[in-house]
């Protein structure tokens, strides 16, 4: 048996491979579990370092950029996180240190050791209720987050604008889900923190909701998406080609039509008849007017287009099974 260490922030005792994830919502352990299982088929056991004490380690596997330990052990990197949040994931010098780095980021694909991948998704297709069975007109499922510094491509702010528009103009046609919406949006500078004071006082003293559309935290997004006609799927920024995350696919596999804003080249990977392209509209009011005008027949066609795409080879590029196979193949060839 060959042993390898897997490094991921906050992870010990193989919690990265737990069926029930106690660290993050929406169970992001699906791909790591597939990865560990695939390595085991080749007599390679992947563990968090605390479980490999005393063993000879053949390689280290980093999930997301972290401080590089130059200990002579061959290292591999899986860099999926937005580089605005993890700058090492886009640092060419850093990524070039690894035997192989696996990344979706086009800016790294010229490096000889970088293996291009896309951000993996389970791609488990749920039963899809039809138009009439979807009682929620539109929804947004995200955690309440913000960038610490100004970013011109910031879509966290656009999520807020969308939420506020619906709360003012069409409150019965929108529901908000996710962690943190029972509080004001995080702030990291003096002015932002000052603006949070009054809403926080109102919440504490009078129980007022910072976001009236907030409907709660969900453990499984499909519980909402299977009964929503539309979901607003905004990445956290719009300046990263290929950065197509679970947000869009979570909606597609539930037969819910996404309103997408994020990767500028999304239509190179996903047919534009499977989603509503937010870039084509001036503001949320214009998007909403478009959604209201979509007929049941048109909606049914969207769902048919989505199923056709999910069954295609194009969709398989995003499947966790496909990405894991690419990783295992390249690691085995280099250890």
Per-residue pLDDT of the chain (335 residues; tens, 9 = 90+): 999 999 999 899 999 998 876 655 555 789 999 999 999 999 999 999 999 999 999 999 999 999 999 999 999 999 999 999 999 999 999 999 999 999 999 999 999 999 999 999 999 998 999 999 999 999 999 999 999 999 999 999 999 999 999 999 999 999 999 999 998 776 556 555 555 555 554 555 545 689 999 999 998 999 999 999 999 999 999 999 999 999 999 999 999 999 999 999 999 999 999 999 999 999 999 999 999 999 999 999 999 999 999 999 999 999 999 999 999 999 999 99
In a domain, 166, yes or no: yes
Name the 3-class secondary structure at 258. Answer: strand
* 211 token code pair: 């976001």
Indicate if 264 and 234 belong to the same structural domain. Answer: yes
* Size of the chain, expressed as the number of residues it contains: 335
Whether residue 292 sits in one domain with residue 211: yes
Token pair in block for residue 169: 């103009």
Same domain, 161 and 112: no
Q: What is the CATH number of the domain that holds 195?
A: 3.40.50.2000
Contact status, residue 177 vs residue 139, Cβ threshold 8 Å:
yes
Residues 83, 170 within the same domain:
no
For residue 185, tell me if it sits in a domain. yes
Judgement on whether residues 109 and 236 belong to the same structural domain of the protein: no
**Does a structural domain hold residue 96?**
yes
Please name the residues in contact with 99: beta carbons below 8 A apart, sequence gap of 6 or more.
59, 74, 75, 76, 113, 334, 335
Q: Is residue 126 part of a domain?
A: no
Strand partners, 139: 175, 231
Q: Are residues 193 and 302 in the same domain?
A: yes
Domain shared by 164 and 116, yes or no: no
Tokens linked to 116: 């291009």
Same domain, 216 and 287: yes
Q: Could you count the other beta carbons within 10 Å of the beta carbon of residue 291?
A: 17
What DSSP element (H or E) covers 299? helix 296-310
Within this chain, do residues 112 and 171 fall inside the same structural domain, yes or no? no
Residues 171-208: pLDDT tens digits? 999 999 999 999 877 655 655 555 555 555 455 554 56
Specify the number of domains making up the chain: 2
In this structure, the answer to whether residues 211 and 143 fall within a common structural domain is yes
In this structure, are 192 and 253 located in the same domain? yes
Is 245 a member of any domain?
yes
Does the residue 231 lie in any domain? yes
The verdict on 311 and 324 lying in the same domain is: no
Q: How far apart are CA 220 and CA 253, in angstroms?
A: 13
- Cα distance between residue 142 and residue 187, in whole Å: 17
In a domain, 125, yes or no: no
149 burial (CB, 10 Å; 0-12 / 13-18 / 19+) is exposed
List, for residues 200-232, the tens digit of each pLDDT value: 545 555 456 899 999 999 989 999 999 999 999
Domain that holds residue 17: 2-120+319-332
Q: Distance between CA 111 and CA 26 in Å, rounded?
A: 33
Is 89 within a domain? yes
Q: What is the DSSP letter of 209?
A: -
């Amino acid at each position: 048996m060959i042993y390898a260490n897997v490094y991921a922030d906050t992870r010990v005792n193989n919690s990265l491979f737990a069926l029930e994830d106690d660290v993050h919502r929406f169970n992001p352990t699906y791909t790591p579990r597939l990865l560990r299982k695939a390595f085991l088929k080749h007599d390679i056991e992947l563990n968090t370092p605390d479980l490999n004490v005393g063993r000879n380690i053949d390689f280290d596997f980093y999930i997301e950029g972290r401080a590089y330990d130059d200990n002579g052990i061959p290292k591999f990197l899986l860099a999926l996180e937005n580089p605005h949040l993890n700058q090492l994931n886009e640092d060419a010098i850093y990524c070039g240190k690894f035997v192989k780095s696996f990344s979706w980021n086009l800016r790294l694909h010229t490096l000889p050791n970088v293996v291009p991948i896309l951000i993996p998704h389970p791609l488990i297709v749920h039963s899809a209720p039809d138009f009439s069975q979807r009682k929620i007109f539109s929804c947004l499922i995200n955690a309440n987050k913000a960038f610490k510094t100004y970013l011109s491509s910031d879509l966290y702010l656009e999520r807020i604008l969308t939420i506020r528009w619906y709360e003012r103009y069409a409150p019965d046609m929108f529901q908000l889900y996710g962690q943190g919406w029972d509080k004001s949006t995080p702030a990291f500078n003096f002015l932002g923190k000052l603006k949070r004071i009054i809403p926080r006082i109102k919440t504490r003293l009078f129980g007022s909701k910072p976001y009236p559309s907030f409907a709660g935290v969900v453990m499984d997004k499909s519980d909402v998406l299977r009964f929503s006609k539309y979901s607003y799927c905004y990445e956290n920024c719009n300046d990263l080609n290929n950065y197509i995350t679970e947000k869009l696919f979570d909606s597609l596999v539930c037969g819910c039509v996404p309103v997408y804003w994020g990767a500028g080249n999304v239509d190179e990977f996903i047919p534009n008849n499977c989603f509503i392209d937010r870039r084509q509209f001036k503001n949320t009011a214009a998007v909403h007017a478009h959604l209201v005008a979509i007929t049941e027949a048109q909606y049914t066609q969207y769902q048919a287009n989505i199923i056709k795409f999910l069954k295609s080879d194009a969709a398989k590029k995003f499947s966790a099974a496909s990405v894991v196979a690419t990783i295992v193949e390249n690691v085995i060839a280099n250890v």
